[in-house]
C-alpha cells in the first residue's frame, strides 16, 4: 500500500513512522509512506500556503491554488488510482469497519489541514471523503492522519506479528464489541489475583470467559454498541446483534 500524506508540518511524522508496527510494515515492503511538504507548492518566493478568509473572521485558510496542485501531483506519482481522504472535524467519523475497508486499498492520499482549514473549493474540485477522528477540534490534520495511517496499516495482511490479534481486538469482525481485560505475570500482585480460569489451560472455558468479560465491559461502558436484542440476552449467544463498527458517540 502506498500512503501519501500532504502536510505543512512533515517533521511531525518521523517519530510515528520510525517505530513499532508502522516501521515494521514499511521494512517488510507492505507499506510505503511518502510525506509531502505542502510548502513546496506554496505561492511565490515565500511559498505562501494560506490567506485571510473571505468575509472576514479569525485565522487563516489554506489556499485552493496550493492544495489542488499538490494533491494532483501526488496522484500522478502512482498509476494506482488513489482514495483521497481529507482530515476534517466535519467528516464522517472513523471506525474500525471503515479502517478495514481502507486497508484493502493500494493507494491512499491523506490531506492534513491547518489553521481554519482548507478552502472548500479544493474538496469540490477533487472530491474524496472527509474523515473525522472524533467530535473535537485539533490544531491540525497531522495527528488525525497518523491515526488513520496507524489504524489502517495494522490491518494490512502481514503487518501484525500475529494476525489473530487483530481478529480478537475490540470492534473486530469476529467480535464487534469491546475486548475484555488482559492479564500477564505475576499471577498475583498486591492481593489482586488473575481470574483463576485464565490459569486453567482449559481453552474452551477461557474463550467463554473472555467472551463474557468483553460483553460485560461493553454493557458497562459502551451500552450503545449492544442492540436492545443483545442486551437482554446472554453473552454466550455468539450471534451478536450489534451496531457494527461503533460509529455512534
236 included as an active-site residue: no
169 included as an active-site residue: yes
Per rule CB under 6 A, is residue 112 in the interface with ligand SAM?
yes
d(CA 176, CA 210): 14
Per rule CB under 6 A, is residue 144 in the interface with ligand SAM?
yes
Per rule CB under 6 A, is residue 235 in the interface with ligand SAM?
no
Nearest distance from C-beta of residue 130 to ligand SAM, angstroms: 8
Stretch that binds ligand SAM, among 74-82, 114-122, 162-170, 237-245 (CB under 6 A): 114-122
Phi and psi, residue 158, nearest 5° = 95, -10
Nearest to 215 by CA among 195, 202, 234: 234
116 included as an active-site residue: yes
Label residues 86-121 b or e (16+ Cβ within 10 Å = b).
bbbbebebbebbbbbebbebebbbbbbbbbebbbee
Per rule CB under 6 A, is residue 134 in the interface with ligand SAM?
yes
- Annotated catalytic residue within 50, 63, 119, 154: 154
Per rule CB under 6 A, is residue 137 in the interface with ligand SAM?
yes
Contact residues toward ligand SAM (CB under 6 A) are: 87-90, 112-114, 116-118, 132-134, 136-141, 144
Amino acid at each position: 500500500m502506498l500512503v501519501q500524506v500532504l502536510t505543512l508540518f512533515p517533521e511531525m511524522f518521523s517519530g510515528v513512522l520510525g517505530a513499532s508496527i508502522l516501521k515494521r510494515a514499511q521494512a517488510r515492503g507492505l507499506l510505503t509512506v511518502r510525506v509531502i511538504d505542502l510548502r513546496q507548492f506554496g505561492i511565490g518566493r515565500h511559498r505562501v500556503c494560506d490567506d485571510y478568509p473571505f468575509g472576514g473572521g479569525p485565522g487563516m485558510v489554506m489556499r485552493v491554488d496550493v492544495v489542488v496542485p499538490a494533491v494532483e501531483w501526488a496522484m500522478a506519482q502512482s498509476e494506482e488510482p488513489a482514495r483521497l481522504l481529507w482530515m476534517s472535524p466535519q467528516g464522517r467519523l472513523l471506525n474500525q469497519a471503515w479502517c478495514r475497508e481502507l486497508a484493502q486499498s493500494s493507494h491512499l492520499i491523506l490531506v492534513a489541514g491547518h489553521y481554519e482549514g482548507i478552502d472548500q473549493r479544493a474538496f469540490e474540485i477533487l472530491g474524496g471523503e472527509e474523515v473525522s477522528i472524533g467530535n473535537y477540534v485539533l490544531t491540525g490534520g497531522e495527528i488525525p492522519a497518523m491515526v488513520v495511517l496507524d489504524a489502517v496499516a495494522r490491518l494490512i495482511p502481514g503487518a501484525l506479528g500475529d494476525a489473530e490479534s487483530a481478529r480478537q481486538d475490540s470492534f473486530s469482525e469476529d467480535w464487534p464489541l469491546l475486548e475484555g481485560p488482559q492479564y500477564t505475570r505475576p499471577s498475583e500482585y498486591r492481593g489482586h489475583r488473575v481470574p483463576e480460569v485464565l490459569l486453567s489451560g482449559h481453552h474452551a472455558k477461557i474463550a467463554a470467559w473472555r467472551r463474557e468479560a468483553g460483553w460485560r465491559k461493553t454493557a458497562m461502558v459502551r451500552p450503545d454498541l449492544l442492540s436492545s436484542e443483545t442486551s437482554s440476552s446472554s453473552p454466550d449467544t455468539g450471534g451478536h446483534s450489534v451496531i457494527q463498527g461503533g460509529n455512534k458517540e
